[in-house]
């Protein structure tokens, strides 16, 4: 049951990314291109997602167990760090260069795009490099 | 604004919100994709449970295109970046999301939904450099 729910959540997330236009890097870059023919569509993705998830997280913050009696695992960090700022800035730069963030790249990989595979492999190397440099 | 698709993007966003809600309400986990992927790369001393839910969630993402195709033609992903640009971008996204503890899903959707100040700062940072790099890429270089 738990496994079916988790797989379904991933599937619904992926379908949402496809329908929203997030899996098209050209559309993502059109959203980031404020100085060109700006396409604000992707702001509606975030709006739609937050309108729904806000209520789910309100419940999650108030409880310690899920509807399946699983422990709720929420991030504990609340302080600002330079890593948060610098890391997010590096991510934004990469996002704009390719038009891919992690979720849409994985969905496009599932659709069989060779260029998505190249991006995802580089992303995994970047993640492993961080793990190696900072967590050992 | 010729490519403006507010309705489709809103519907897609609602589905993403439903997915994040299912994951936190039933499984108790945050739908932060960069964190989920990176945790699958940790090989040392992790119980089986560490991998199962993460692997299943990513499998769902990978399966989404196949499922979509069963109902409608799959929208095209126009990837204009060259191979070398994709490699640099992937390295930046992989390293940056780990250093910054999240990406568009973890910070931009889940974090903002739970009114996390850290996620608001992170979202403003990646949007800012996203806009700047896009400007440099399309209008300067």
Tens of pLDDT, residues B59-94: 999 999 999 999 999 999 999 999 999 999 999 999
- pLDDT on residue A15: 98
- pLDDT on residue B3: 83
Residue B60 and residue A8 in contact, taking contact as beta carbons nearer than 8 Å: yes
What digits encode the pLDDT tens for the residues B111-120?
A: 999 999 999 9
CA-to-CA dists, residue A26 to A58, B3, B122, angstroms:
35, 11, 23
- Any B CB within 8 A of A117 CB: no
Q: Identify the CA nearest to A105 among candidates B132, B67, B103, B140.
A: B103
Does A136 score more than 60 pLDDT?
Answer: no
Buried/exposed code over B7-39 (b: 16+ C-beta within 10 A; e: otherwise): ebbbbbbbbbbbbbbbbbbbbbbbbbbbbbbbe
Does B1 score more than 80 pLDDT?
Answer: no
User: With the C-alpha atoms ordered A53, A59, A61, A64, is the resulting torsion angle positive or negative?
Assistant: negative
Write out chain A residues lying below 8 Å of B137, CB-based: 96-97
- Any B CB within 8 A of A9 CB: yes
Q: What is the pTM of this model?
A: 0.96
Given pLDDT bands bounded at 50, 70 and 90, which one contains residue B45?
Answer: confident
- Any A CB within 8 A of B46 CB: no
**Can you read off the two tokens belonging to residue A67?**
């509807």
CA distance B18 to chain A (A): 6
Cβ within 8 Å of residue B73, ≥6 positions away: none
Given pLDDT bands bounded at 50, 70 and 90, which one contains residue A134?
Answer: confident
3-class DSSP state of B79: coil
3-class DSSP state of A49: helix
Q: What is the DSSP string of A70-113?
A: PBP------S--HHHHHHHHHHHHHHHHHS--HHHHHHHHHTT-
Rounded CA-CA distance A128/A72 in Å is 27
């Amino acid at each position: 049951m738990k496994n079916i729910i988790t797989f379904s959540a991933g599937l619904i997330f992926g379908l949402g990314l496809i329908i929203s236009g997030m899996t098209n890097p050209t559309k993502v870059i059109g959203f980031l291109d404020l100085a060109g023919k700006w396409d604000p569509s992707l702001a509606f993705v975030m709006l739609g997602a937050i309108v729904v998830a806000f209520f789910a997280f309100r419940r999650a913050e108030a409880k310690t167990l899920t509807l399946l009696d699983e422990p709720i695992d929420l991030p504990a960090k609340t302080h600002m760090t330079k890593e948060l700022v610098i890391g997010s800035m590096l991510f934004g730069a990469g996002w704009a260069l390719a038009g891919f963030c992690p979720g849409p790249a994985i969905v496009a990989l599932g659709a069989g795009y060779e260029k998505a595979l190249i991006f995802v492999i580089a992303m995994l190397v970047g993640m492993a490099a961080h793990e190696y440099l900072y967590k050992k | 604004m010729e490519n403006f698709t507010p309705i489709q993007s809103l519907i897609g966003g609602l589905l993403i919100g439903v997915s994040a809600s299912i994951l936190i309400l039933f499984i108790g986990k945050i739908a932060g994709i960069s964190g989920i992927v990176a945790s699958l790369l940790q090989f040392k001393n992790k119980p089986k449970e560490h991998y199962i839910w993460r692997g299943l969630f990513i499998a769902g993402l990978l399966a989404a295109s196949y499922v979509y195709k069963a109902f409608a033609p799959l929208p095209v992903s126009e990837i204009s970046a060259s191979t070398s640009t994709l490699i640099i971008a992937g390295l930046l996204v992989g390293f940056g999301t780990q250093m910054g503890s999240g990406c568009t899903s973890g910070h931009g959707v889940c974090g903002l939904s739970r009114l996390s100040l850290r996620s608001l700062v992170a979202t403003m940072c990646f949007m800012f450099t996203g806009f700047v790099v896009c400007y440099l890429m399309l209008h300067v270089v």
